[in-house]
Homo-oligomer: A and B are copies of this chain.
Amino acid sequence: MDKFTIKDIAKLSDVSTATVSNYLNGNYAKMSPNTKEKLANIIEKTNYRPSTTARNLAKNENKTIGVSVADITNPFTSPVISGISERCSEYGYKLVFTNSNNDEQKEVENINRLLEEEVAGLIIDPVNPNSNTYQRLSNTYTVIVDRQAQRSIIDTITTDNMKSVELMTQKMLDAGYTDLYFVTWPLSGISTRINRYTGFKNATKYTNDEHLLTIPYDYESSDDDSFTQTIRQIVTSSHGKLGFFTMNSRVLQNFLKVTQSLNYTYPDDFGVATYENFDWMQLMTPGISCIRQDSVAIGHAAMDLLKEKLSTNYTSEPAPRMKTIPTDIIIRESF
């Protein structure tokens, strides 16, 4: 785009490139007010912009952090990015972004690309936190968000999954619900899902998985698929007071679509609550009780932690830390 280099500016200003460089880096102490002003003018006039690439190479540093998200389509994701992005610009980092579309293979490629880029640090919203792709990463420059590995070696930031679900389930219990179901995408070893389910079991004291209802990740309700049948069966044969907890907003949507097609209504035919909070849940009639997680805060925390790590000098691989961001519970009229 621009053809000007530091040499051109030096020539035009009748100084050396070193002086120009000093000017560029704010080392004004090293030059007379005169040259400083001259430089200011010329640079302004020529609209000269130093090449970040060359700078990075020369200083052997790269103020960029790489972000790899599992699925940008997930409504959880954009607030997290927003939080990261905010902190990035505060801290003077730029953000290069990759989306893996829930494809592990794609994620590996993305991470490789980012590594080649020589990003200073990595923030990963992992497709499968138990994958061994992350083994090769160092905890000195990466942090994981949202999903947590079974046996993690990397700092990770999650929301308070277990406790909050336990609490919400308890609320349903307190409201007299005796027959509770947990609706989720396949657990697949994914911590977010497992922890939420564990919270559910802690509260209900269910000892087996008979109250675990699983729908495929890409579930689209159709006429009378097996999930629809299951729900019908449960609703018609339940003895106690029947309630459902859905594992996130998308599962909730699928669930409600099914119950609507079945002509069941809440809170009459069943009670319902969900993880995640979105504006529309308040608009539903009745409003949906839910657990609100602060996704922006996750982004903030991730970048804060990363920055801290990047500015400390580790002599050895630091032990992984976990940070959980608190949630709160919103009770509406859905149970």
Write the residues of chain A forming the contact surface with B, with a CB cutoff of 8 angstroms: 1, 49-54, 56-57, 62, 64, 67, 72-73, 75, 77-79, 81-82, 85-86, 89, 94-99, 101, 106, 109-110, 112-113, 115-118, 138, 141, 250, 253, 256-257, 260, 278-280, 282-285
Contacts and interface: CB of A to CB of B under 8 A. Distances in A.
How many identical chains are in the complex?
Answer: 2
Given A98-B95, A257-B282, A279-B253, A52 B1 contact: no
A253 B287 CA distance: 13
A303 B64 CA distance: 23
Contact of A85 (B75, B97, B256): B97
A118 B52 contact: yes
A138 B2 CA distance: 11
A145 to B, nearest CB: 16
A24 B10 CA distance: 35
Contacts of A284: 280, 283-285
A57 B85 CA distance: 26
Contacts of A98: 85, 89, 94-95
A49 B81 CA distance: 27
A110 B94 CA distance: 10
Contact of A253 (B79, B99, B260, B283): B283
B78 A82 contact: no
Contacts of A116: 49-52
